[in-house]
Amino acid sequence: MIEQQENLRYINRFSILLATLATFSGAFYLLPREPLNPGTNLFGFILNFSMTGLLPLVLMLLCAGGCFWIFVTHPDKENFKDTPWVLIPNVVLPSLATLITSTMLTQLERNPVWWIALGISLLIIGVILDAEYRVLTPGGEAYKVVAPLLISLAFGLFLAFTISLAASQLRLYVQVLLILFAAGFVAFRTIHLRTRGKGAFSRVFFCGLLCAEIAGAMYYLFLEPVQYGLLVCGVLYVLTASVVIEGPLTLRKVIEPLIMAGVLTILFVVVSLT
């Protein structure tokens, strides 16, 4: 009976959050399209100050607060009731997805395709949010399904992030710093999910730092943004897959990093030839 009540609370709050995001996102249709004009240059960052440009940030904060509100309905809430900050890693992906999709909606042309994009955006946010709720129980049956999904989404966002960085032509020290933080988070999320919460900080720091150093080294190789993003994302994936290997090295344990390295090499060559 108690479990059914918790599930009902989760469904109600999940529906309320998605409905709220849908309402505010749908209001973007009535606003003028946000032009891609250059803004103020601050230490290499191009900043655009406008009311429309700030709305995605507001929605991101709304989603972050809604995530905490939903997660406290989890059956294992006693594990993090007194330490809510441990839920921050579970909140980042839904919040980032909200920021990215809402920014995209402000810049799209107002036509029927815009509503399709809104529906897909809400579907993505809902899938991520539900997956983050499921992984709060590492021993649950759904963990083996949703954990790989979250890892894939994290690397997908990281790939898009590195490609946009390469295309933005920001200064080297700015790009390296941003990649360090982004790679550190993705490494933490991946290692945390792969080890069911037993990942060490030293592994995360090693992956993030080495990935940022390699990204900085490739800054002056005049690579296309897609090539740059594939290489940086591939390096991070190989690193995170390698540091979770326990015990003596065997072919079975290193097959995943080797396959990923081969796939990325093929993609890099294909992109170079197009």
> What do you get for the CA distance between the two ends of the chain, in Å?
59
- List, for residues 14-59, the tens digit of each pLDDT value: 899 999 999 988 888 887 765 555 444 444 444 455 666 678 888 8
Q: Tell me the two tokens of residue 35.
A: 């032009």
CA distance 15 to 19: 6
In the block, residue with structure tokens 């080297």: 172
Q: Under a CB-based contact definition with an 8 Å cutoff, are residues 234 and 197 in contact?
A: no
One-letter amino acid at 104 equals M
Tell me what pLDDT residue 250 has: 64
Q: What does DSSP assign to residue 196?
A: T
Supply the mean pLDDT for the chain.
Answer: 80
Tell me what pLDDT residue 4 has: 65
H/E stretch holding 30 reads none
Q: Is the dihedral of CA 221, 226, 179, 240 positive or negative?
A: negative
How many other CB atoms are there within 10 angstroms of residue 121's CB atom?
20
Q: Which residue has the higher pLDDT, 121 or 143?
A: 121
- List, for residues 204-223, the tens digit of each pLDDT value: 889 999 999 999 888 888 78
CA distance 95 to 126: 11
- List, for residues 85-137, the tens digit of each pLDDT value: 778 878 888 888 888 788 778 777 888 898 998 999 899 899 889 888 888 87
Q: Under a CB-based contact definition with an 8 Å cutoff, are residues 117 and 29 in contact?
A: no
Of the ranges 66-75, 121-130, 187-196, which is most confident? 121-130
H/E stretch holding 221 reads none
Beta bridge partners of 45: 42
Helix (H, G, I), strand (E, B), or coil: what is residue 72?
coil
Tell me what pLDDT residue 9 has: 82
CB contact set of 156 (below 8 Å; sequence gap of 6+): none
Tell me what pLDDT residue 42 has: 41
Tell me what pLDDT residue 47 has: 47
Read off the pTM: 0.75
Q: Which residue has the higher pLDDT, 56 or 61?
A: 61
Q: Domain map of the chain by residue range?
A: 1-137, 170-274
